[in-house]
């Protein structure tokens, strides 16, 4: 059985250039009047979310990858052929989830328009990642940009909604499940697989997907000798890659429960700061709201 994995979490490794903090107030005209922006979501191969941005009259698709912490937006060279931009001096290195080291080159675009809203002077990077041929070869909107907002990712209604930091709809505060996130690494919390005592660091990433006959799963990459794995009845999917599917598991942080999730168990020797990833399967089953001012995730299971 052919299994394809995509892991898009990446983080800075070293280098002389650090992406500057994005000044949203100076970037958006009439910032004080801004409350929210609804952006239609589309799905590449039915699993990987993307949106359209407009740059200098060019309509360009970009994946929504909250696991990419190395830039505001990334673009492929071919997407920049008709775009005027200013190269930023300096490069840095980053390491992807599966241990690949990339050299990042940065540049500034004077204006990016999303659903009529214009964002000025964004530092972006050139995306040199190789994607599988069933996906569009495009760049991404990363967490460096999204963390300047509160935002909602709603796969069922195909929406990405940006809110001014500090704004949260009352119905989310009153009725959704609340999970406190760690300050570092970004978009992580500490939790357990229900029924087991081992504590794991759990990350959240729209770019963690697994395609297997159009099924999307989350990811566990704990050592195979761990107590959880040794007790878990697993089904081998591929003897060569030692991939296993674990069905209908629940994740808890002691107070909140995220249930009904399917995971892929993946063995790796690479350094890691996250043990479990809530990826595609999680987002297709749960509506999510990220309060980046207070570092809180709100979730509501789709009915």
Q: pLDDT tens track of the chain, all 303 residues? A: 233 455 555 544 445 556 666 677 777 877 888 999 999 999 998 889 999 999 999 999 999 999 888 779 999 989 899 999 998 865 555 555 455 555 678 899 999 999 999 999 898 988 877 777 778 889 999 999 999 999 999 999 999 999 999 999 999 999 999 999 999 899 999 999 988 888 889 999 998 876 544 456 788 776 555 666 555 544 444 444 555 777 888 999 988 999 999 888 776 555 567 888 999 999 999 999 999 999 999 999 999
Burial 267-280 (b: 16+ CB within 10 A, else e): eeeeeeebbbbbbb
Among candidate residues 121, 127, 5, the one with its CA nearest the CA of residue 60: 127
> What CA–CA distances, in Å, run from 25 to 29, 145, 149, 223, 239?
8, 13, 11, 45, 53
User: What DSSP state is assigned to residue 285?
Assistant: H
Q: Give pLDDT, residue 110.
A: 93
Provide the whole-model pTM: 0.87
**Which residue segments constitute the domains of the chain, with CATH numbers given?**
4-164 (2.40.70.10), 170-301 (2.40.70.10)
Q: How many CA atoms lie within 13 A of 21 on its CB side?
A: 6
At residue 12, the pLDDT reads 45
Structure tokens at 155: 């796969």
Q: Calculate the CA 290 to chain-centre distance.
A: 12
CB 205 within 8 A of CB 187: yes
Cβ atoms of 62 and 140 closer than 8 Å: yes
Reference 55, options 106, 121, 147, 148; nearest CA is 121
């Amino acid at each position: 059985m052919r299994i394809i994995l995509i892991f898009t979490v990446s983080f800075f490794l070293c280098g002389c250039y650090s992406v500057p903090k994005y000044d949203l107030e100076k970037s958006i005209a009439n910032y004080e009047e801004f409350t929210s922006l609804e952006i239609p979501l589309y799905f590449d191969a039915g699993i990987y979310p993307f949106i359209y941005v407009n740059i200098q009259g060019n309509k360009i698709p970009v994946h929504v990858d909250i696991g990419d912490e190395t830039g505001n937006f990334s673009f492929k060279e071919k997407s920049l052929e008709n775009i005027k931009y200013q190269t930023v001096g300096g490069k840095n290195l980053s390491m992807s989830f599966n241990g690949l080291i990339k050299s990042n080159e940065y540049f500034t675009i004077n204006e990016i328009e999303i659903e009529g809203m214009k964002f000025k002077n964004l530092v972006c990077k050139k995306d040199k990642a190789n994607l599988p041929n069933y996906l569009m070869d495009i760049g991404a909107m990363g967490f460096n940009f999204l963390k300047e907002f509160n935002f909602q990712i709603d796969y069922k209604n195909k929406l990405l909604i940006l809110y001014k930091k500090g704004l949260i709809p009352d119905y989310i505060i009153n009725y959704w499940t609340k999970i406190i996130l760690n300050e570092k690494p970004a978009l992580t919390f500490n939790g357990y697989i229900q029924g087991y005592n081992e504590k794991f660091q759990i990350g959240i990433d729209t770019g963690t997907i697994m395609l297997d006959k159009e099924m999307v799963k989350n990811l566990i990459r704990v050592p195979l000798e761990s107590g959880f794995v040794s007790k878990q009845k697993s089904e081998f999917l591929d003897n060569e890659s030692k991939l296993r599917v674990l069905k209908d598991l629940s994740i808890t942080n002691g107070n909140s429960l995220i249930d009904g999730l399917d995971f892929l168990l993946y063995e790796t020797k690479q350094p890691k700061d996250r043990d479990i990833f809530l990826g595609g399967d999680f987002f297709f089953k749960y509506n999510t709201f990220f309060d980046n001012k207070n570092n809180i995730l709100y979730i509501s299971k789709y009915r």
